[in-house]
Amino acid sequence: MHIESRRTPTARVTQNVLSVAGGGDAGGETVVLVHGNVSSAVFWRGTMLALAEAGHRPLAVDLRGFGDTDPAPVDATRGLRDYSDDLLALLDSLGLDGVHLVGWSMGGGVVLQALRDRPAAVRSVTLVNPISPYGFGGTHGADGALNHPDGTGGGAGGANPEFVKRLAAGDTSADSPVSPRSVLRSSYVKPGTKIEDEDEDAFVASMLSTRTGDDHYPGDTVASGEWPGVAPGTRGVLNAFAPTHFRLDDLHTIDPKPPILWIRGEDDVIVSDTSLFDLAHLGALGVVPGSPGTPAQPMITQTRAALERYGSYTEVVLDCGHSPHIERPAEFRAALTGHLKRS
């Protein structure tokens, strides 16, 4: 078996889709895998091969502005709907219905938005270390209340400018703690996790496929008079899942409600109740000066509260960081395939 790549025209953008050839069951149930921020479908290759061996038909898509999908600009005022509408357009183009959706990190928000907007098209959902249903940064409490009306603390202003610079320059080194390779080693996976050299190089290349700028990553920045001085803009990736633009308060109202599996790493430093990428938590640690005591966003608590209202979900916690499918592949695949069989 091997992975094939094909650019697929849709009613919105031409999207790059990975599939498995030379094995598996082409007639099996379709599982569509959606990657996270600063990555691409390449991060799903091992999962795809395992799913094909189990008789499923896995497809992994590059979101707009990542991998080999068209770099169409991101209108952040629509939340994550530029991405989720692209995903639904891909399903339409391929004539797919009743699919299993799997979303990692930002991709978890994308598949939840697709579920919210077209629940009848979804047979099951698997969330892998997903962003909170109330976005990333700028909220507090289990119900995602805004810290300030303008969403201060969320959006593109939270990006590390040196990381963005190195990403844009195609830096493959590990000579800085904020180079893409170093961030992969320290934050995408639990520090000390062994990644084979060939895989690591592929993952770094995947990260470097991210388009940068105001229309892409991280997006446009807006000043705020409230601490920490930045608020969500209207364009680009990080603004698309800022709390003023992306909120799924009513996910529990959809009908039908396909089952949701939530898989997360217990040592995730990106999506956490004490995220090292949350300006509020960095303020509490003294890394970002001047904090007035703004609490960290309780991302895990928020997701659990939303899923408890939804009702039909299972939570699985693994001993790993932000990428269970990379760090704990056997346990991850067992949980995923079990969920698919039950759905």
Over the stretch 40-70, which tens digit does the pLDDT of each residue have? Answer: 999 999 999 999 999 999 999 999 999 999 9
How does strand 122-128 pair with strand 99-104? parallel
Distances (CA, A) of 6 to 29, 55, 57, 122, 189: 20, 21, 15, 23, 28
3-state secondary structure of 304: helix
User: Which pLDDT does position 25 carry in this prediction?
Assistant: 53
| Distance, CA of 21 to CA of 19 (rounded, Å) | 7
> What integer best gives the mean pLDDT of the chain?
96
Per-residue confidence (pLDDT) for residue 74, from 0 to 100 = 98
Q: Is the pLDDT of residue 331 over 80?
A: yes
Main-chain dihedrals φ then ψ at residue 210, nearest 5 degrees: -65, 125
179 contacts: CB under 8 Å, gap ≥ 6: 163, 166, 171, 173
Q: Quick one: pLDDT band at residue 302, thresholds 50, 70, 90?
A: very high
3-state helix, strand, coil in the chain (%, to 5): 35, 20, 45
The strand ranges marked E within 212-259 are 212-213, 217-218, 221-223, 230-232
Q: What domains does the chain contain, in order, with CATH numbers?
A: 2-147+239-342 (3.40.50.1820)
Average pLDDT in the 316-330 region? 98
H/E stretch holding 123: strand 122-128
Single-letter residue type at 231: A
**What per-residue confidence (pLDDT) applies to 22?**
78
Contact residues for 22 (Cβ-Cβ < 8 A; gap 6+) = 1, 2
Encode pLDDT of 203-251 as tens digits.
Answer: 999 999 999 999 999 999 999 999 999 999 999 999 999 999 999 999 9
